Amino acid sequence: MKAAQLIAHGSPGKIELREIADPQPGADDVVVNVVACGLNRLDLWLEEGGLPVQIPLPRTPGSEVAGRVAAVGSAVTDWKTGDAVAVQSNIFCNECEFCKRGEESLCLRGELLGIARDGGFAEKVLVPQRALVRLPAGLEFETSAALTLAGSTAMHMLTDRAQVRAGDWVLAIGASSGVGSAAIQIAKQLGARVISTGSTEAKRSLAKTLGADFAVDSTNPDWPAEVRKLTNKRGVDLVVEHIGGDVLPKCFECLARGGTIVTCGATAGRDISFNLWPFFVKQQRLIGSYGRNRADVQTTLEWAVAGKLKPVIDSIFPLAQTAAAFSKLRSREVLGKVLVKP
């Protein structure tokens, strides 16, 4: 089969379309014919060698897979050839104390698809059967590949790690990002008043299209003042954050008394400092969020087929153009998801 493999780290790294052996399923495994696979910030970290773990190369990246079952192992009874599936990218063990209570995002032996093992920028991908989630009838593969990872990450943040009540003010950082675009839609569905941020007119316009009530210009150094103004100096109840660096401290300036920041990323920097005094006086919360549980993926796909959650797709590349897809995401000019279709 053909696979787009990372041969050498860098920015850009060296990505080549190579002919490699077809994966063979073990007893508990399934081989999926990849129809579409979403590109994520995680793929760029792998490309540039920026992950805190050493990854042996070559590696096939790609963690947001939608496709059809091509072959099943001898112990697989729930899946058959032709089934339409999404793959949960945080492949969990199903045996540790956290998996046993449905908290697969906390799995002690979790493996990331496309990082710790070969992923979906290939004609086929091999995964354990427990990683499969059935696609609801009528859901497009492209929609799944554009929502399964970032959409379920946002679902986990807004409905599991934190909760949204009708009437709450929610600030969703980065309207054009996968997590941001999903967070706006989920918060609106839950009855919130939503403010988002964007660095260009096009990104702020996208925020409004997705349902945000307001979109502030994140290139204005004092954009938190805009947020305070929009909420009559009260601040927001929940901030959905995924950038870190100098953005996260600014989120505290936007936060109401009793408010919560939930964060799932550190693209702009991993070390931050903030003033503890207003934090405890105002009884605020800072909550970490990582990946998703199986339930979050299922809810995301159900909302998608019901039309409550729509993907924003920037562009679709053929497998042979995977390196160009990486360049496109790296350029930061994207409005929504970049997909690869083998």
CB of 111 to Zn ion, least distance (A): 10
Closer of 96 and 190 to Zn ion (Cβ)? 96
List phi, psi (to 5°) of 11: -135, 85
CB of 117 to Zn ion, least distance (A): 16
Rounded Cα–Cα distance for residues 8 and 219 (Å) = 34
User: How many Cβ atoms are within 10 Å of 222's Cβ, its own excluded?
Assistant: 10
Distance from C-alpha of 146 to C-alpha of 339, rounded to nearest angstrom: 7
- Distance of closest approach, residue 93 Cβ to Zn ion, in angstroms: 4
How far apart are alpha carbons 258 and 304 in whole angstroms?
32
Is the Cβ of residue 115 or residue 164 nearer to Zn ion in the bound state? 115
In angstroms, give the least distance from the CB of 53 to Zn ion: 18
Instruction: Kindly state whether residue 305 participates in binding Zn ion, applying the rule CB under 5 A.
Output: no
Q: Which residues pair with 214 in a beta bridge?
A: 195
Q: In the complex with Zn ion, which residue's Cβ is closer, 92 or 214?
A: 92
| Cα 222 from Cα 217, distance rounded (Å) | 9
Q: Closer to Zn ion at the Cβ: 101 or 234?
A: 101
Distance in angstroms (rounded) separating the CA atoms of residues 173 and 199: 11
Binding mask 60-99 for Zn ion (x = CB under 5 A): --------------------------------xx--x--x
Distance in Å, CB of 179 to Zn ion, minimum: 24
Residue 107 or 126 having the CB closest to Zn ion: 107
Q: What is the Rg, in whole angstroms, of the alpha carbon atoms belonging to the chain?
A: 20
Residues binding Zn ion: number (CB under 5 A): 5
Any idea which residue has 């979109």 for tokens? 215
What is the C-alpha separation between 152 and 302, in angstroms, rounded? 11
Which residues, 97 to 136, sit near Zn ion by CB under 5 A?
99, 107
Give residues in contact with Zn ion (CB under 5 A). 92-93, 96, 99, 107
